[in-house]
């Protein structure tokens, strides 16, 4: 995917699992939700893997180790090795290792995933600002992370110690709803110190680099449910993306997406890996996809036809993104989306 203004989802005559050598899959909202497998995920991934596609799992959550993530996926029926999991903890540990000497102490504000990743890079995790750390790293530590940990980070950062964050996602999904994510914790330290961390996770380049280094992917396809991490990360990396509608993004958010948040492909769930993607073509003053034609009026998006709802959504995207250009579409698409049940 080039860094240009995308005005419609792309088409593919071949199944995406055949057109790309590696799927770089987000986890929460794509493969599982609240710890349980999302419908169609297990069988779709098994079919893609049997057809020769390499599956890699890319997560901004720095709490769990790759071993723990792989074990969870295997329990869900998706056989996975630790080497198939790439975390923001690994990306930030590499970033730190490039800026401090091997064997340096690093103050950890987070969970075991960060400690394991730092040791992998020859760095020494410590717990106090008084342990003479060469860097501070902050990652999601789960609901039991105490307020005193933020104070330790603040003490060190205020002394001028370089500050790193695994990611800055403000929220994280849980089985009970949406909870504060690492980005919310980073804000606490930012407010206390006035400093800015170096960030490694999606959608920033260090995470994409870590993923490519660990997978060796030549034709990767990013698969995610979030526009501001997964899809923007693919945009920043110059690779194609598939948005699945099993997570946080709904149709209205997709229609309003600015260029860096516009996916190459859109599908309902991971079954989209196993099929081709219908082409969206210009027709008259609008765009056709399957049995639907969409156009942008003066104040609203208009939709006509019948057939697969996702075809209608793709046609609407073409109309909305063309109307928006390099901005975000402000035209009302509510009635059109309601016709599609999205």
Indicate which residues carry an active-site annotation. 26, 28
Q: How many CA atoms lie less than 13 Å away from 147 in the CB half-sphere? A: 1
Does residue 44 contact residue 223 with C-beta atoms inside 8 Å? Answer: no
Per the DSSP assignment, residues forming a β-bridge with 173 are 178
The DSSP string of 23-59 is EEE--BTTTEETTEEPTTHHHHHHHHHHTT-EEEEEE
Question: CA Rg, the chain, in Å?
Answer: 21
Give, in order, the Cα–Cα distances in Å from 9 to each of 83, 251, 256, 263, 280. Answer: 32, 14, 14, 7, 7
Question: Count of CB atoms within 10 A of residue 122's CB?
Answer: 12
Question: Count of CB atoms within 10 A of residue 135's CB?
Answer: 23
Does residue 195 contact residue 163 with C-beta atoms inside 8 Å? Answer: yes
DSSP single-letter state for residue 326: T
Helix (H, G, I), strand (E, B) or coil at 221: strand
């Amino acid at each position: 995917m080039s860094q240009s203004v995308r005005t419609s989802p792309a088409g593919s005559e071949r199944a995406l699992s055949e057109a790309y050598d590696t799927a770089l899959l987000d986890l929460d909202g794509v493969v599982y939700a609240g710890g349980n497998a999302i419908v169609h995920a297990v069988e779709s991934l098994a079919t893609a893997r049997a057809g020769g596609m390499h599956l890699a799992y890319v997560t901004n959550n720095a709490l769990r180790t790759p071993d723990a993530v792989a074990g969870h996926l295997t329990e869900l029926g998706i056989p996975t090795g630790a080497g198939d999991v790439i975390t923001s903890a690994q990306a930030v540990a590499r970033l730190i290792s490039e800026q401090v000497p091997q064997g340096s102490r690093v103050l950890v504000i987070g969970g075991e995933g960060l400690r394991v990743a730092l040791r992998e890079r020859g760095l020494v995790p410590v717990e106090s600002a008084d342990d003479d750390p060469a860097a501070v790293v902050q990652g999601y530590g789960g609901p039991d992370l105490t307020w005193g940990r933020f104070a330790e980070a603040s003490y060190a950062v205020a002394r001028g110690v370089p500050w790193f964050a695994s990611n800055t996602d403000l929220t994280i999904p849980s089985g009970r709803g949406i909870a504060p994510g690492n980005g919310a914790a980073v804000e606490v330290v930012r407010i206390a110190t006035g400093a800015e961390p170096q960030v490694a996770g999606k959608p920033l380049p260090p995470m994409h680099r870590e993923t490519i280094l660990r997978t060796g992917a030549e034709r990767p396809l990013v698969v995610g449910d979030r526009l501001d991490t997964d899809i923007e990360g693919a945009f920043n990396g110059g690779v194609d993306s598939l948005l699945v509608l099993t997570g946080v993004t709904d149709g209205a958010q997709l229609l309003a997406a600015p260029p860096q948040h516009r996916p190459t492909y859109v599908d309902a769930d991971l079954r989209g890996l196993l099929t081709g993607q219908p082409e969206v073509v210009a027709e008259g003053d609008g765009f056709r996809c399957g049995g639907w034609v969409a156009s942008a009026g003066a104040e609203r998006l208009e939709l006509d036809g019948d057939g697969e709802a996702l075809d209608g959504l793709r046609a609407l995207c073409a109309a909305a993104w063309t109307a928006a250009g390099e901005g975000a579409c402000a035209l009302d698409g509510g009635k059109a989306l309601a016709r599609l049940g999205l």
